[in-house]
Structure 1
Amino acid sequence: MQLINPKNGPKAIGPYSIAVKTGNLVFVSGQLPITDSGELIKGNIKKETEIIMKNIELILKEAGSSIEKIVKVNVYMKDISKFSEFNEIYEKLLNGHKPARAVVEVSKLPKDSDIEIEAVAEV
């Protein structure tokens, strides 16, 4: 097992690793829409989704994987009515790749974020 904590990527906000690589899989912990400067973005689900997916891409690259190798995604949203806006950006950033996915509306997320995304990918 290898812990993945990119130097130039998102930082853990608790006692966990950003990702864990084991065998031929990498498990990416739930990511919030946090910019390179550490700012949490809120109020624009398209921008939030873009930031998270770019962070996941960076993490996967560090682990020797890529967006195209994602096999499963879990999405947690505070407002499921923004699903179509989220989906528009998600689909665009995956460029035709369609991993298995679940989207769930939740009442609260860390740092009062609007969205959190976790992923599992092959290496």
Structure 2
Amino acid sequence: MTAFGTQAQEDSISEQTKEVFRQIEFMAKAVGSSLSKLIKVTIFVTDLSDMQALRQTLSDIYQTHLPASSLIKIESLFSADLNVEVEAILAI
């Protein structure tokens, strides 16, 4: 999932990440679940230079629940505006 087509599309990696997790949370709530039920996330980033901001954003989102996570640096995503893509596995 990405921030493509949202107001965050051209924003920082932190803002794009917040938007992606807002979308994941919306879908989780639609099936009676929540972000606290995240089991595993895989995060693809195009730039490693702002990892401190990404870590802080993820910490704010996860709070005390830390799912298994992988971070993968990639060359690019399907739109040049995008900095991050998230795959999430959620218990329902």
Cα shift at 1:62: 1.3
**Which runs of 5 or more structure 1 residues have no equivalent in the other structure?**
1-30
**Which runs of 5 or more structure 2 residues have no equivalent in the other structure?**
none
Cα shift at 1:40: 5.3
Which has more strand, going by share of residues? Answer: 1
Identity in percent: 22
1:108 corresponds to 2:85: no
Which of 44, 65, 74 is the equivalent residue of 1:97? Answer: 65
Equivalent-residue separation in structure 1 for 2:10 and 2:55 (angstroms): 17
User: In the alignment, which residue of structure 1 is the partner of 2:34?
Assistant: 66
Runs of 4+ in 1 over 2 A off after TM superposition: none
User: In the alignment, which residue of structure 2 is the partner of 1:119?
Assistant: 88
Aligned-residue CA RMSD (Å): 1.6
Equivalent-residue separation in structure 2 for 1:49 and 1:69 (angstroms): 18
Equivalent-residue separation in structure 1 for 2:39 and 2:59 (angstroms): 14
Aligned length: 91
Equivalent-residue separation in structure 1 for 2:46 and 2:11 (angstroms): 11
Q: Which has the larger radius of gyration?
A: 1
| C-alpha distance after superposition, 1:47-102 (max 9, x if no partner) | 11111111111011112211000000000000012111111011101121100000
| C-alpha distance after superposition, 1:32-51 (max 9, x if no partner) | 1246xx44522411111111
